[in-house]
Amino acid sequence: MAIAQGILDIALNTAAQNDATKILRVSLLVGQLTEIEPASLRFCFTALAADTPAAGAELEVTVVPLTGRCRDCGGEFAIDHYRFYCPECNSAAVEILSGRELKVEHLEVE
């Protein structure tokens, strides 16, 4: 719920800055690691957005897969089932490249 409120605040602020009166669509990037469920996020957002310029706005959620890079061999790979080690050399020195995102990527207003 707090996350949905944060997204709504960003959307409303951005719309206000652009003199928009209505928010039509919010495109969101959500990293896999955030464990945010798009369906429940959409539900919370819709509930919170009622009686704001974002009422009825579509919340489009793109899940960013979790990927990492090995600090030892430099290999890049997808991380499945939270196994944070390198599939090439079994090193645990893994740096997360993507999957932690939580940001409003695009806003459609009128």
The site for Zn ion (CB under 5 A) is made up of 70, 72-73, 75, 86, 88-89, 91
Residue 30, token pair as written in the block: 């959500």
- Closer to Zn ion at the Cβ: 58 or 72? 72
**Which helix (H) or strand (E) is 30 found in, with range?**
strand 23-31
Calpha distance 53→50 (Å, rounded) = 8
Least separation, in Å, of the C-beta of 69 and Zn ion?
Answer: 9
Least separation, in Å, of the C-beta of 61 and Zn ion?
Answer: 32
Least separation, in Å, of the C-beta of 43 and Zn ion?
Answer: 40
| Cβ–Cβ < 8 Å for 59, 28 | yes
- Closer to Zn ion at the Cβ: 40 or 90? 90
Instruction: Please choose, from the candidates 59, 54, 73, the residue with its C-alpha nearest in 3D space to the C-alpha of residue 29.
Output: 59
- Closer to Zn ion at the Cβ: 88 or 95? 88
- Closer to Zn ion at the Cβ: 8 or 94? 94
Least separation, in Å, of the C-beta of 66 and Zn ion?
Answer: 16
| Cβ–Cβ < 8 Å for 4, 57 | no
